Structure 1
Amino acid sequence: MKIESGERRQASILHADLDSFYASVEQRDDPSLRGRPVLVGGGVVVAASYEAKALGVRCPMPGHEARALVPRAVTVPPRFAAYTQAGREVFDVFHDITPLVEPISVDEAFLDVGGLEKISGTPVVIATRVRERVREQVGLPITVGIATNKFVAKVASAAGKPDGLLHIPAGGEIDFLHPLPVRSLWGVGAKTEARLHDAGIETVGQMASLGEEHLSSLLGRGTGRHLYALAMAHDPRRVTTGKRRSSIGAQRALGRRAKSAADIEATLIAIVDDLGRRLRAAHRETRTIVLRLRFHDFERITRSRTLGEPTDGTEVVLAVARGLLDEAMPQIRDRGCTLIGLSLTNLSDHGAVQLAIPFGGDDHAGELDVAIDSVSTRFGKGAVTRGVLVGRRAMPETPKLPDR
């Protein structure tokens, strides 16, 4: 496979990434926290300011370990509603700059500014404007990487942090990438990095010099081809907009205090109710339900089940989710649970698949879902609540991108 470095002759792809997002929002909203090490989350640190990261804090990390590293750190509880709102304001800036915006998460996106030079200036000028407007309008620092393709732009933004701008001109991709450590490439985790180090490969340039065939013999054909392509700055993907999401999901942090099986199930029920509303609002149906759990030792497991027919029914999803949770409950009892998440994947548009005839009678469950959705939309999500959820404190939810 012959690979040329770069796919475009102009570096016009921007990767914009907010810096230490959660902690930056906390420092923005509380001036007394600025310049100080900040930990977001008590039992488990979900985010840390750069002042804390400079002293060794990593995320996720047990709160007691982080506070041992940085005794003078200030710990604040997460405020996910504030983070979601800040993310929306930042994306408003992105969309005002260019219509070609591809969200990656609540705090980062790719922007294609090719063809805007006569209207808005060079990509560097546009990137500078993005940073200035996010700082002025939202009050947050953001780093932007500029390159000929998405992969190099993302690596550039990581290298430019914090609060920076790094431009990799067309033709300069190889010089930029090859001195970097192999962990800079997508797909190089701890195990792959260790295997490469055992083979004497420390940098991206050494990986490229090894060649695709030797790399494939070391890591497997698929991984070898993928990493060799990235090492040669090859990424043909374009910035895409309007693509419907292939999944929707939500998760709740449970903290490190012991939770009963009933508490965990109640949290799962609340997640399912929320996802059911979102699924129907987007006029989608799901066939695959995925349960994700994180234990006290930070290990994670994933369990999934695929249905014979797609559904948008809350009770169907809940029955499957409960079954997956029951299967995992022995591990939860032994290891504790700090996070529970659920994703609905394998989505299709509502009515796109011919469903089996409901010989059991009318779909009263579907009518009930619609009625509850209507009441919730008009009077708020708390207007109709399951009895099992009454009196229970809602667990914090991580921000999510809007369903599209």
Structure 2
Amino acid sequence: MKKIYMHYDMDAFFASVEQRENPELRGIPIAVGHGIVTTASYEARKFGVKSAMPVAAAKKLCPHLKLVPVRKNYYGKVGREIQQLILKITDKCEFASIDEGYIEITEFVKNRDEKYIERFVEGFRKHIYKNIRLTCSVGIGFSKVSAKIASDINKPNSYFIFRNREHFLSYIMDKNLSIIPGIGKKTRELLGLFNIRTVSELYKIEKKELVKKFGSNRGEYLYNVIRGQQFSEIDNNRKRQSYAHEVTFNQSMNDIFALEEELREQSEKLSYRLKEYGEFGKTVTLKIRYANFLTYTRAKTLKNPTNKTEEILNAAMENFRNLKKKDEVRLIGIQVSSITKSNIVQLTFNDMEKHD
């Protein structure tokens, strides 16, 4: 039996939580962040305010923008409440982050009638709103990729259903490649060198050419995903090899203090994710990309694995301060890798001799 997948995505999650908590923020343009916009409400997005935009630039677009401090621990709490609601429905779910995830709903819509699927989707969205008082957008597809694309089509607070593979292909064919999950900016830039910018243009390229240019795994993914042939199962027990967070700025960032504040926010977010799963990381890698598209990474391996904000931040800041160039930044991010379930490091023979 072919499977049916649903992708849910909470609408402007951080901003919506703040508007839920404070009636004075409802219906007005707000941005959650400090120095850099983390999330903008839909009222603010109408003015062009976007995530990863410097607050100063956002206020030029929207002078009456209300800035709200970030409360990531609280957002994490709300996110876990949403996840617990879903787990009461089914364990066939995979949480991509605190505000989005995938659910296999095949067992709930066995007759595959579209009206029946619509009733399930509406019931799910009402269930979330009734218990959490937040709206979400939902996508239905024959794969996780198609479901994720569908959830973006009628945002916010609605849904879209891909009836089948043919429906999916007809929708994506004339779109820019940015619509496809897993085809990031760097890949699009490389494809752009060959004048490939839309799905239809990529569709014309043979698999062997893509494998030659991008390698076996990446090339096959590019070939399969735009043909609706990329499938992966719901994985609710996958072991993470790393955690990462990065932002791409809409314009070159030259404010070193704003960059340092962004690194602090990323360290807090990574610390939260590690603690949520009871994990620790030993290697902290800084990633930075400049306006000329040159990208650099700097890694630091800690003596002991950690999930503490300050220890992640200190390692990232050490990497950052060692950079010669700290202006004209277009992207900055942190990755924590070498993930373990314990922060206890086994002593070597030499270590034990030192403690005798």
Instruction: Give the equivalent residue in structure 1 for 2:50.
Output: 58
SS in 2 for 1:235: coil
SS in 2 for 1:146: strand
Q: Cα deviation per residue 1:35-78 (whole Å; 9 max; x = unaligned)?
A: 22211124211110112112211211111111111122222222
Preserved CA contact (<8 Å) 2:304 2:345: no
Q: Distance in 2 between matches of 1:314 and 1:37?
A: 34
SS in 2 for 1:111: strand
Instruction: Give the equivalent residue in structure 2 for 1:148.
Output: 142
Question: After superposition, where does 1:25-64 map in structure 2 within 5 Å?
Answer: 25-64=17-56
SS in 2 for 1:102: strand
Q: In the alignment, residue 163 of structure 1 is paired with which amino acid?
A: N
Change (3 A) 1:355 1:208: farther
Aligned partner (choices 141, 160, 173) of residue 166 of structure 1: 160
Instruction: Give the equivalent residue in structure 2 for 1:359.
Output: 352
Taking every aligned residue pair, what percent have the same amino acid on both sides?
Answer: 26
Instruction: Give the equivalent residue in structure 1 for 2:250.
Output: none
Q: In the alignment, residue 159 of structure 1 is paired with which amino acid?
A: I
Change (3 A) 1:201 1:133: same
Q: In the alignment, residue 85 of structure 2 is paired with which amino acid?
A: V
Preserved CA contact (<8 Å) 2:280 2:307: no
Instruction: Give the equivalent residue in structure 2 for 1:106.
Output: 98
Change (3 A) 1:335 1:209: closer
Give the number of aligned pairs.
Answer: 336
Q: Distance in 2 between matches of 1:21 and 1:349?
A: 29
Q: In the alignment, residue 303 of structure 1 is paired with which amino acid?
A: R
Instruction: Give the equivalent residue in structure 2 for 1:233.
Output: 228
**Structure 2 stretches of 5 or more lacking a match?**
247-253
SS in 1 for 2:31: strand
Preserved CA contact (<8 Å) 1:93 1:130: no
Aligned partner (choices 124, 133, 152) of residue 127 of structure 2: 133
Instruction: Give the equivalent residue in structure 1 for 2:249.
Output: none
Aligned partner (choices 79, 83, 88) of residue 91 of structure 1: 83
Preserved CA contact (<8 Å) 1:177 1:233: no
SS in 1 for 2:8: strand
Preserved CA contact (<8 Å) 1:45 1:63: yes
Residue 237 of structure 2 corresponds to residue 242 of structure 1: yes
Q: In the alignment, residue 138 of structure 1 is paired with which amino acid?
A: I
Q: CA deviation at 1:207?
A: 1.6
Q: Distance in 2 between matches of 1:49 and 1:340?
A: 23
Change (3 A) 1:45 1:351: closer
**Structure 1 stretches of 5 or more lacking a match?**
1-7, 364-404
Q: CA deviation at 1:33?
A: 2.4
Greater RCO structure (CA 8 Å; 6+ sep):
1
Instruction: Give the equivalent residue in structure 2 for 1:346.
Output: 338
State TM-score, norm by structure 2: 0.75
Structure with the greater alpha carbon radius of gyration: 1
Q: Distance in 2 between matches of 1:228 and 1:203?
A: 13
Preserved CA contact (<8 Å) 2:136 2:156: yes
Q: Cα deviation per residue 1:217-241 (whole Å; 9 max; x = unaligned)?
A: 6666654332121111122210111
